[in-house]
Amino acid sequence: MIPADLFPPRIQLANTPTPLQKMERLSRQAGVKIFFKRDDFTGSELSGNKIRKLEYLLADAVAKGADTVITCGGAQSNHCRATALAAVRAGLASLLILRTGDPANPPQLSGNILLDCLAGSEIVWITPEQYRAREEIFEREAQRLRSEGRKPFIIPEGGSTALGAWGYVAEMEELVADLKRLDGDDVKPTTVVCATGSGGTTAGLAIGARLSGAAIRVLGVNVCDDREYFVAIIDAICRQFNQTWLPGESAEIPAYDIVDGYVGRGYAQSQPEELAAIRDLVRLEGVVLDPVYTGKAYFGMMAELAKNPKIFGERIVFIHTGGLFGLFPIADQFADIV
């Protein structure tokens, strides 16, 4: 148990604890026990993994007297949509810096973008090239808001900061309690698999696993960039976390790994076999994944299991981190396979 007084202040946004469900048919097919932790059930419009991080990040924004949160992501960012809606609940305005090929002709109002607009977010469209210098754009927009007398609060990409990682430290505590209900106090060795998009979820899970002391291995499947890129990001989050909340353990980075090789065509670009895996899981278990994160991570996990069913040990928990709204803008890509 992590001492309750170590947790930073949070505002409650997520419906937790989320269920841990055994995928019976999938487990039989794969020859290994596979459970899904249903973080897609953290809410409806405000669903997925990002809310867990936002509980801590928005508490900080409110405590600092902010009136507007600024964040960034891809055009169909789940994180931006969750931030826009969560900001409303916290009584804040939001400004979203969204990446698109042609900012003069932004994508149509669908999926997460529709929800961003319904929530009344101000949207600033930028090119992928400008996105690489997003820190400068954050500063420019923050300055503009300040000059209008407002108080901005910046949430970096994906909410993947040491503070945001608390959301997944808390989730790991929840998961250990789930596993104890199955196993008793001695939790059996378990591999936790999640999608890695900006690193905060993987970092929080890894820190939480170490603090729990349970035999839990954390693996992220990267959906963009590569293993080296994410190890640098996740280690930096863990280091910052240790310095801030676990000062005696500053040097100790928790164990985790990144399973590289499943980025496919690139971030938010799907291959037919990934879409077929999403379809097949819906037909097998009635569970719907998203194409950008969970679908890719699941596809990678199943591809590794097809090579060696015991590669992840006897029991796997796949974290379903949500993202459903990202499915609808690419509906036409499913036309030939449904």
Binding site for ligand PLP (CB under 6 A): 48-49, 78-79, 158, 160, 195-202, 290, 293-294, 321-323
- Minimum Å distance from CB 282 to ligand PLP? 16
Cβ-based nearer residue to ligand PLP, 197 or 208? 197
Find the shortest distance in angstroms from Cβ 142 to ligand PLP. Answer: 22
User: From CA 131, how far away is CA 205, in angstroms rounded?
Assistant: 27
For ligand PLP, the closer of residues 33 and 79 by Cβ is 79
Cα–Cα distance measured from residue 42 to residue 93, given in angstroms and rounded to the nearest whole number: 22
C-beta of 57 vs 145, nearer to ligand PLP: 57
b/e map 162-199, b = 16+ CB within 10 Å: bbbbbbbbbbbbbbbebbeeeeeeebeebbbbbbbbbb
Nearer to ligand PLP, 153 or 168 (CB): 168
Beta bridge partners of 336: none
What is the sign of the dihedral through the CA atoms of 79, 200, 296 and 25?
negative
CA distance 100 to 76: 9
Residue 311 three-state SS: coil
CB of 24 to ligand PLP, least distance (A): 24
Distance, CA of 326 to CA of 293 (rounded, Å)? 9
| Cα separation, 219 vs 255, whole angstroms | 9
Q: Name the residue with the smallest CB distance to ligand PLP.
A: 197
Q: Is 92 helix (H, G, I), strand (E, B) or coil?
A: coil
Under 8 Å between Cβ of 47 and 40: yes
| Cβ proximity to ligand PLP, 107 vs 182, nearer residue | 107
Question: d(Cα 208, Cα 152) in Å, to the nearest integer?
Answer: 30
Q: How far is the CB of 197 from ligand PLP (least distance, A)?
A: 3
Degrees, nearest 5: CA angle 319-16-242: 70
User: Mind telling me the catalytic residues?
Assistant: 77
**Min separation Cβ 222 and ligand PLP, Å:** 9
Tokens 């037919």: give the residue: 272
